Amino acid sequence: MITARAHTNIAFLKYWGKKNVKLILPYNDSISLTLDRFYTDTSVDFDQSLDHDEIFVDEKPLTGSGVKRVKNVLDLVRHLSGISNFAKVQSTNHVPSTAGLASSASAFAALAAASTKAAGLNLSNRQLSIIARHGSGSASRSIFGGFVQWHAGHDDQSSYAEPIQENVDWDINLITVLINTAQKKVSSTNGMQSVVETSPFYPAWVKNAQADVKPMKTAILNQNLATLGELAEQSAMRMHATTFGAVPSFTYFQPQTLAILSAVRNMRKQGVECYSTVDAGPNVKIICASSDNEFIMHELNQIVSAKQLVVCKPGPGITYL
């Protein structure tokens, strides 16, 4: 049995929409930061005594669409390794699931790492990234630590993630505002597919998202928090604008989401460098320097309680336990 740990990541330039649903190939590149506070531990054992795959998440049997996604990864690993045994998978999430906090990213990155090792494969991180993508697109990025770029690619082998800066040596962190950690009414998978098929704003989203890749990478390498933050906030707001244009329209925002977004803009007017980003969920992440944490958290406490605030720093890539 092999156990691997993977951390969640937050996309500063978002992944939103698949041009190939089966292979999970995105329409545009994305750029993320792996975080230290939220992670998944997954153990895998290919056992010849099993007559089916046994999959447990937080000590409960996995049900629903997640089962097929896990089996997709396991079947790919079996194909690559030449083994036929079924597997026992035990996964523990140290992050709320299906709440827009990238639990699938850490979950499938950990699964890819643990299952390949358990099957006797010794793969590069680039190869692990491709395998993780078959479970969740954003999982391709959680193989690596720090700042990561996922190349959209055009086929299975050309769509992978690679690090931009794994060891982040400058002052950047995220304050995560946990507004609601319950399961989303519209999953990320269903939400992005609806937008791709029905939102008239989607073509503009793809064009702008790809155009922002080069300036975002430059901002990271130049340690330019202001430019990085501006691009990240624009990416998030443009992504969420596509949901309002879908048919039927929908949104992941809740009243406190809008209140936090407004508070961030107001703090910026006061001269504080802070920027918001929101994945497919109501929870807001605030990009800032740690030197401004105390002021920002004081302002946020006017809207949410202190226990709803979690400070995250750049996190590591895959580790084996």
Task: Indicate whether 195 pLDDT > 90.
Answer: yes
3-state secondary structure of 321: coil
Q: Which domains does the chain have, with CATH numbers?
A: 2-167 (3.30.230.10), 173-312 (3.30.70.890)
In terms of C-beta density within 10 A (0-12 exposed, 13-18 middle, 19 or more buried), how is residue 271 classed?
exposed
Residue type, 310: V
Mean pLDDT of all residues belonging to the chain: 94
pLDDT at 207: 95
Mean pLDDT over residues 22-34, rounded?
A: 96
* Res. 64 pLDDT band, cuts 50 70 90: confident
Q: How many CB atoms lie within 10 A of CB 226?
A: 11
pLDDT at 102: 56
pLDDT at 210: 95
* Res. 66 pLDDT band, cuts 50 70 90: confident
Contacts of 265 (CB under 8 A, 6+ apart): none
pTM of the full predicted structure? 0.94
Q: Give Dmax over CA atoms of the chain in angstroms.
A: 64
CA 13 vs CA 124, 205, 316: distances in Å: 25, 11, 19
Q: Which position has the token pair 């709803």?
A: 308
Q: Which position has the token pair 């244009």?
A: 245
Percent residues over pLDDT 90 in the chain? 88
pLDDT at 212: 97
Residue among 4, 13, 9 nearest 146 (CA): 9
Q: What is the Rg, in whole angstroms, of the alpha carbon atoms belonging to the chain?
A: 19
Structure tokens at 281: 């969920």
Integer Cα distance of 25 and 149 in angstroms? 14
Do residues 56 and 42 touch, judged by C-beta distance below 8 A? no
Contacts of 232 (CB under 8 A, 6+ apart): 12, 13, 216, 275, 277, 287
DSSP assignment letter at 314 = B
Task: Indicate whether 98 pLDDT > 50.
Answer: no
Contacts of 271 (CB under 8 A, 6+ apart): none
Task: Indicate whether 227 pLDDT > 70.
Answer: yes
Mean pLDDT over residues 237-261, rounded?
A: 96
Mean pLDDT over residues 268-281, rounded?
A: 95
* Segments in the chain forming alpha helices (H): 65-81, 103-118, 125-133, 188-198, 202-211, 213-221, 225-244, 255-269, 293-300
Do residues 145 and 316 touch, judged by C-beta distance below 8 A? yes
Task: Indicate whether 42 pLDDT > 90.
Answer: yes
* Segments in 17-134 forming alpha helices (H): 65-81, 103-118, 125-133
